[in-house]
Amino acid sequence: MALQLRPNCEYCDRDLPPSATDARICSYECTFCADCVETKLFNVCPNCGGGFAPRPIRPTREWRPGVCTSKQAPSDKRVHLKYSLDDVAAHCARVREVPPEKR
């Protein structure tokens, strides 16, 4: 099962194409840009409380049969925060001092 490769930052709605090197995801594939992860979320997923990792780049070239962006298309469904910015800030402040591996 391939990652969805969501097309935008859930916080600022910035476009994050499949080749974006600044896309970050949590273990649930919540997707944010590196700037929001570092300056707004402080490495705390506002949805699950987990940390973030760089999102892998899906190859555009078919190096192996059936495995590339044209054969396994990224998602085109834009996702947005379901919490208010005040709630996100409070949640991140509450969790940010706990290392991701201990959350």
Mean pLDDT, the chain, whole residue set: 96
CB 71 within 8 A of CB 63: no
pLDDT at 1: 74
Q: Which residue has the tokens 């947005």?
A: 80
Report the alpha-carbon angle 4-91-57, nearest 5: 25
Question: Taking 80 as the threshold, does the pLDDT of residue 102 lie above it?
Answer: yes
Report the alpha-carbon angle 16-100-86, nearest 5: 65
Q: What's the whole-model pTM score?
A: 0.92
How many angstroms separate the CA atoms of 14 and 99, rounded? 27
Burial of 3 (C-beta count, 10 Å sphere; 0-12/13-18/19+):
middle
Tokens matching residue 85: 């910015």
